[in-house]
């Protein structure tokens, strides 16, 4: 099932309202698929709690002009330190899915990460915004021949980098989906593999990627597989210093500190809480993205202050897509940028790239 959007103005004015509108528009089971996490959802809650535990150290009378939110990631310019996530099943939220997201990304000057398990193929998404910088996502598992074929397709379609989601050797224990008996139409996740997949959500990834044929890869196997491409690659799903070092040693050009939005291992720490550990392990030169829990522009500023190069928005982008299609995603991106500008002005900072740990402090309990 896909969601049809009426031709009306974007029906929300804040990022929080985007979630409220999306919940009204989506069926209960699709909303739970978007909003839910793994297990008791402790990690899902902790992601927000960690952002709320940090306060800003405001400086006044800076004498500075309006601040800049501009930055870059892997040489790709960004109007602000934000990328959109490779959330799959995008056709559940809007008939245009990731095609609408990448058009919004291009218009607002950010970069999108395009999912492997999406409604549209990598080539179809690329054609929707051919001049935009894009990153393709892959899952490093299963048949090496299939993986090599996908690398060639990514290169031929003009993607700038590859994001490897390393924290999904199996799906998380998502009880909302189990409780809802949630079955997903294979067409909304099989755009890159037409004719394959299953109507059983628990089996979708096993069917799409032949996980059971080759098992879970090691860092050495991943490094060997990525020698088949010259594109830079990003390891998404890093939460410890040990894995940060392993990923960069295997050849990763950048990392994503992520617990998959609390959708994989319940009881894992908040992504933001692990950012300093990962940054300390790889030093200042490695570019680091952060996802999980970002809901507003102030969160972006906190993440950058604590060591992130930029953040990735997943649930927020999906909710915006459900609430207003392409225009909804554009609205959310503008709101994020405008709030970052406001926060930087009140912090007395001239640029988001000037931020350091002195801009924030842990709240006193």
pLDDT value of residue 216:
80
Catalytic pick from 5, 260, 302, 315? 260
Of 95, 100, 93, 98, nearest to 23 (Cα)?
93
Residue 184 CA from chain centroid, whole number: 21
Residue 54 lies in a domain: no
Residue 254 lies in a domain: yes
Residue 346 lies in a domain: no
Sign of CA dihedral 342, 348, 352, 355: negative
Residue 196 lies in domain: 15-42+72-340
In total, how many domains does the chain have?
Answer: 1
pLDDT value of residue 133:
95
- Work out the number of other CB atoms within 10 angstroms of the CB of residue 206: 18
Residue 295 lies in a domain: yes
5 is catalytic: no
Give the SS3 label for residue 179: helix
Residue 356 lies in a domain: no
pLDDT value of residue 130:
95
Residue 79 lies in a domain: yes
Residue 283, burial from CB neighbour count under 10 angstroms (0-12, 13-18, 19+):
exposed
- Each residue's pLDDT tens digit in the chain (365 positions)? 445 544 457 889 999 999 999 999 999 999 999 999 999 999 999 999 999 999 999 999 887 889 999 999 999 999 999 999 999 999 999 999 999 999 999 999 999 999 999 999 999 999 999 999 999 999 998 888 889 999 999 999 999 999 999 999 888 999 999 999 998 888 899 999 986 544 444 444 554 544 445 568 999 999 999 999 999 999 999 999 999 999 999 999 999 999 999 999 999 999 999 999 999 999 999 999 999 999 999 999 999 999 999 999 999 999 999 999 999 999 999 999 999 999 999 999 999 999 999 999 999 87
Q: Is the pTM of this model over 0.85?
A: yes
Q: Spell out the residues 6+ positions from residue 151 whose beta carbon is closer than 8 angstroms to its own.
A: 138, 162, 228, 229, 231
Contact between 254 and 73 under an 8 Å Cβ cutoff? The reply is: yes
Residue 354 lies in a domain: no
CATH label of the domain that carries residue 303:
3.20.20.70
pLDDT value of residue 215:
66
Contact between 287 and 73 under an 8 Å Cβ cutoff? The reply is: yes
Tokens of 194: 């037409």
What count of residues does the chain have? 365
Phi, psi of 144 (to 5 degrees): -60, -30
Residue 100 lies in a domain: yes
Phi, psi of 315 (to 5 degrees): -55, -40
């Amino acid at each position: 099932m896909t969601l049809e959007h009426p031709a009306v103005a974007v029906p929300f004015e804040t990022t929080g309202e985007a979630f409220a509108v999306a919940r009204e528009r989506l069926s209960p089971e699709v909303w739970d698929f978007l909003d839910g996490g793994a297990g008791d959802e402790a990690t899902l809650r902790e992601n927000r709690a960690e952002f709320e535990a940090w306060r800003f150290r405001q400086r006044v009378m800076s004498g500075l002009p309006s601040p800049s939110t501009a930055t870059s990631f892997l040489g790709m310019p960004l109007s602000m330190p934000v990328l959109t996530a490779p959330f799959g099943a995008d056709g559940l939220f809007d008939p245009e899915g990731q095609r609408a997201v990448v058009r919004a990304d291009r218009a607002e000057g950010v970069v999108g990460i395009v999912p492997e398990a999406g409604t549209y193929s990598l080539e179809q998404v690329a054609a929707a915004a051919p001049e935009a910088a894009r990153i393709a996502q892959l899952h490093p598992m299963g048949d090496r021949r299939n993986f090599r074929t996908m690398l060639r397709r990514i290169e031929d379609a003009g993607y700038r980098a590859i994001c490897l989601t390393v924290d999904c050797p199996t799906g998380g224990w998502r009880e909302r989906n189990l409780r809802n008996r949630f079955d997903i139409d294979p067409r909304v996740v099989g755009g890159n593999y037409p004719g394959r997949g299953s109507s059983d959500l628990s089996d979708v990834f096993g069917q799409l990627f032949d996980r059971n044929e080759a098992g879970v890869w090691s860092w050495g196997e991943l490094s060997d597989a990525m020698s088949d491409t010259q594109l830079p690659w990003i390891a998404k799903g890093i939460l410890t210093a040990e894995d940060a070092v392993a990923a960069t040693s295997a050849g990763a050009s950048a990392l994503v500190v992520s617990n998959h939005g609390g959708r994989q291992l319940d009881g894992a720490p908040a992504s933001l809480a692990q950012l300093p550990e990962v940054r300390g392990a790889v030093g200042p030169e490695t570019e680091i993205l952060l996802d999980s829990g970002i809901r507003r522009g102030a969160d972006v500023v906190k993440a950058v202050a604590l060591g992130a190069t930029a953040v990735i928005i997943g649930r927020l982008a999906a909710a915006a897509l459900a609430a207003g299609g392409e225009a909804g995603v554009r609205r959310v991106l503008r709101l994020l940028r405008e709030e970052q500008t406001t926060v930087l002005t009140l912090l007395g900072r001239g640029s988001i790239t000037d931020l350091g740990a002195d801009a924030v402090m842990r709240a006193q309990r």
